[in-house]
Amino acid sequence: MSNEFAGKTAVISGAAGGIGFALAEALAKQGMNIVMGDIDHIALAESGRVLREQGFDVLTCALDVTDYSQWEDIVANAKEKFGNVHMVINNAGVGGTPSKIEDSEHETWRWVMDVNVMGVLYGAQACVPAIKEHGEGGWVLNVASMAGMMGMPYAGAYCASKAAVVSMTESWVAELKHFKIHTSVLCPAFVKTRIHESYRNRQQKYAVAVDKRIDKEKLEAGAKAATMAVESGIPATLLAERVVEALKSKQTYIYTHPNYRQVTTERFKAIDNAFEDAEKSAVVGHLINDEIVTF
């Protein structure tokens, strides 16, 4: 097979199921060597078996993305088996628990931030040097969400974590382009996976000491709504096809749900309008012609 992916190696976090597994399968079909990492060792073994049965050469490695040493191990194992590493897909993520501000559990916020934000940093930190070192170029793909492009009531932790992933990616695009490393961020709306059951992989270190949630009724209603939304989502296989298409045309922001355009249009319009207010301001309006400072 001759394409830009064939014979190259991708490390994918959260590859035992859902979006991660669909991406692993789609990129294996493009001829890539696949290294699958996941915290769920049983599901990982089964997913590895499914891909091997299709004739793909895959490596499965235990990986909790919140533990940097496990990222170092997965990169070392990937190099040992396949030689160079070309792509990292920072896909592992958790949905948290919908809750009101006053009921928010600090442990839940730390869990969501550690997996969804620090996990992405650690993945890049471990893989980018390995991609740089061979000079052939490659890819960093971070899985954010439409939730990174909009705030949602009762989902502050998840939205904040995904907005951080969008922002980190934008910073890395500029940083990595000199190394022929294409960096992109995937922002799907709902996809039919097990994201609404993320608690199944919650590590003991984030266990909630005391059940502080006050508004249980609202919590249950939120969980039910989230389940229905996820179950109405697009199939992960369709998303994976779209990602291959977008990577081939080197897109930076990868959308999978064109029907959500209005969400970003309205947000960007509101952000832009706020500048008009500042321009008219009696206090700061005179700064309009000052030079912009960047570094």
Ligand X SMILES: NC(=O)c1ccc[n+]([C@@H]2O[C@H](COP(=O)([O-])OP(=O)(O)OC[C@H]3O[C@@H](n4cnc5c(N)ncnc54)[C@H](O)[C@@H]3O)[C@@H](O)[C@H]2O)c1
Q: Would you please indicate which residues are annotated as catalytic (active-site) residues?
A: 158
* Nearest residue (CB) to ligand X, 38 versus 105: 38
- Give the CA count within 13 Å in the CB-facing half-sphere of 9: 24
Identify residues 222-241 at the interface with ligand X (CB under 6 A).
230, 233
In the Cβ-directed half-sphere of 95, how many Cα atoms lie within 13 Å?
A: 23
Task: Lay out the sheet containing 253-255: strands in order across.
Answer: 58-62, 33-38, 9-13, 87-90, 138-143, 181-187, 253-255
In a 13 Å sphere around the CA of 3, the CA atoms on its Cβ side amount to 14
Q: 5, 10, 12, 13: which one contacts ligand X (CB under 6 A)?
A: 13
Nearer to ligand X, 180 or 224 (CB): 224
Nearest distance, CB of residue 283 and ligand X, angstroms = 40
> Alpha-carbon distance 180 to 31, whole Å?
20
DSSP letter assigned to residue 39: S
Q: Which residues of 265-288 are buried (b: 16+ CB within 10 A; e: fewer)?
A: eeeeeeeeeeeeeeeeeeeeeeee
Q: Between 39 and 243, name the residue whose CB sits nearer to ligand X.
A: 39
CB of 165 to ligand X, least distance (A): 8
- Considering the rule CB under 6 A, would residue 143 count as an interface residue with ligand X? yes
What are residue 255's DSSP bridge partners? 187
Choices 32-40, 76-84, 260-268, 269-277; region in contact with ligand X by CB under 6 A = 32-40
Least distance between ligand X and beta carbon 252 (Å): 17
Question: Shortest distance, CB of residue 54 to ligand X, whole angstroms?
Answer: 19
- For the segment 163-202, give every residue that binds ligand X (CB under 6 A): 188, 190-191, 193-195, 198, 201
Whose Cβ is closer to ligand X: residue 16's or residue 164's?
A: 16
- Residues forming contacts to ligand X in the complex (CB under 6 A) are 13-14, 16-20, 38-40, 43, 63-66, 91-94, 115, 143, 145, 188, 190-191, 193-195, 198, 201, 230, 233
